[in-house]
Amino acid sequence: MSIKITSFALTLTCIATLLGACATTQPPAATETAAEAELVSTAEPASPEPEVETEYGNFTEEQLYQAIISELGAQRGVVDEAGDSYFDLALETRDLGIIRRAVQFASANNDMNAMLQLGLLWSEIDPTDSQPHLMLSFQFLETGNYQQALSHMARVIELGGEIDFSALAARTGQLDPRTRAVLIDNLRQLTREFSDQQSIRLTLVQLLAQNGEYQEALLEFQLLIQLVDLSPRLVMLKAQILQSAGDADQAIRVMRSGVREFEDDKNLRLGYSQLLIQNEQYEAAQAQFAALMELDPQDWETLFSMALLDMELENYDRAIERFTQLARIDQRADEARYYLGYIHEQREEFDAAIAAYREV
């Protein structure tokens, strides 16, 4: 990834940021009278004034030079070296401006180790800023350190920031139950500390379901919908929990009710169709696919699903019509021709089957 930098403007910005005051004391302009001039001429030669040392604010001349060279190097595309240089400067100066710039370079270079170290340094120097904790939480999530991630996520909330805890649930599906149980305990504690944070309780519901604790998940779900309005996402979550718990009929009822309430939501209706197929209610699923096609007549993926269902139900004439349409408009064309061949073969229409197979 490259970082776009306007040479003169950014270099000047860098200097202005790094150099709080680069000032030299200038001698005042002299105004001499004739008498003063005569006095000076008869006086002994004055010793030369000492050189005034240039001040570079809180930075040494070498540090300032290193920052400017790094910026110019980044302008030429040498982002790795610029990132390394700024990382060293951040550790050396412990200056927030330098640290933030080093974070930008570390992010551009996808240097996770640098991001972690810089985030910890940033949070140490400015413990009231939620931003480093937000950054650290996602870095720890990426490295699988979920306990540390959760700790920094909570810190973001404490400092008045905002964060979606469901990012945690998206990564914990493959955890062993014991490790996930520890996270569940911590999330329960956070729901007591931050009772108005809906994403914490949503994440708790998701982790309970991942751990197979379906009844507990449903109880927490009931508490969740007291905080938020029902949404298509929550409808699908509840149905998934019920299906996983072995209550397919109730899952279907929840989805049916949800589709009636959010009738224009395509994802919800698609999820309902898939749930019906999962429970071998193919005719009902076909009706939901038809409703999806009414919402979007050019939804070719849904048309392909309808053709597959027709084939499964041995509605071969309708399946041939739909697969032929897909092949004609070059949507899933090879698969459509293959299934056309298969259908013709099932109907012992061997010449038509061979012709379809040859077009695959």
Predicted confidence (pLDDT) per residue in 151-189, tens digit:
999 999 999 998 888 888 888 888 899 989 999 999 999
* Cβ neighbourhood burial of 188 (10 Å; 0-12, 13-18, 19+): middle
Domain extent at residue 212: 141-228
Does a structural domain hold residue 29? no
Same domain, 212 and 100: no
Tell me the residue length of the chain.
360
Same domain, 178 and 66: no
State pTM to two decimals. Answer: 0.72
Does a structural domain hold residue 282? no
- Which letter, b or e, does each residue of 95-131 get, where b requires 16 or more Cβ atoms within 10 Å of its Cβ? beebbbbbbebbbbbebeebbbbbbebbbeeeeeebb
Same domain, 1 and 110: yes
Same domain, 113 and 157: no
How far from chain centre, in Å, is Cα 257? 32
3-state secondary structure of 29: coil
325 to each of 287, 314, 318, 340, how far by Cα in Å? 19, 18, 11, 11
What pLDDT digit, counting tens, does each position of 211-229 carry?
999 999 999 999 999 989 9
Average pLDDT over residues 120-143: 92
Same domain, 182 and 209: yes
CA distance 341 to 290: 25
pLDDT at 18: 47
Helix (H), strand (E), coil (C) string for 87-100: HHHHHHHCCHHHHH
CA distance 222 to 194: 17
CA distance 187 to 175: 16
DSSP per residue, 93-135: H--HHHHHHHHHHHHHTT-HHHHHHHHHHHHHH-TT-SHHHHH
Does a structural domain hold residue 345? no
Average pLDDT over residues 228-255: 96
Residue 25: pLDDT over 50: no
Does a structural domain hold residue 92? yes
The domain total for the chain is: 2
Average pLDDT over residues 341-352: 94
Does a structural domain hold residue 292? no
Given 198, 228, 258, the domain boundary residue is 228
Same domain, 105 and 13: yes
Does a structural domain hold residue 319? no
Residue 128: pLDDT over 50: yes
Does a structural domain hold residue 178? yes
Same domain, 177 and 66: no
pLDDT at 78: 77
pLDDT category at 79 given cuts 50, 70, 90 is confident
* Cβ neighbourhood burial of 227 (10 Å; 0-12, 13-18, 19+): middle
Same domain, 98 and 8: yes
Given 105, 127, 149, the domain boundary residue is 127
Given 213, 228, 243, the domain boundary residue is 228
Nearest 10 degrees: CA dihedral of 63, 65, 70, 76? 180
Q: Where are the alpha helices (DSSP H) in the chain?
A: 7-18, 34-42, 61-75, 79-93, 96-108, 112-125, 131-143, 146-158, 166-169, 177-193, 198-210, 214-224, 232-244, 248-261, 266-278, 282-295, 300-312, 316-328, 333-346, 350-358
Residue type, 242: L
Same domain, 13 and 95: yes
Does a structural domain hold residue 182? yes
Same domain, 64 and 111: yes
How far from chain centre, in Å, is Cα 305? 31
Is-contact 203 238, C-beta < 8 A?
Answer: no
φ and ψ at residue 243, rounded to 5 degrees: -65, -45
Q: Which two tokens stand for residue 29?
A: 């302009």
Same domain, 146 and 185: yes
Is-contact 209 217, C-beta < 8 A?
Answer: yes
Residue 41: pLDDT over 60: no
Same domain, 75 and 102: yes
